[in-house]
Amino acid sequence: MVGVVHHCQELGVMHRDLKPENFLLTSKGPEGELKLTDFGLGVFFKPGERFRDLVGSPYYVAPGQEGGRGCLPWRLSL
């Protein structure tokens, strides 16, 4: 999952609604590839750009977004 998100960020894409339901496998077993789906809230970003919009599924929203402080696009919490 981290590799998929990292690849998106290398392309300048921020998904903005990461949750388990948006990760799918192409097939069962070791040959299956992990795919990220549902880029409906996704945006292109520039390095260092901050976002303050509260978007995404409420249960998975980054804590920093709730208070309007925004969050850095490269931050990932597990």
CB 26 within 8 A of CB 35: yes
From 4, 5, 17, 62, active-site residue: 17
Q: Measured on CA atoms in the order 74, 76, 65, 17, is the torsion positive or negative? A: positive
- Residue 38: active-site member: no
Residue 4 has a CB neighbour count (10 Å cut-off) of 16
- Residues belonging to the active site: 17
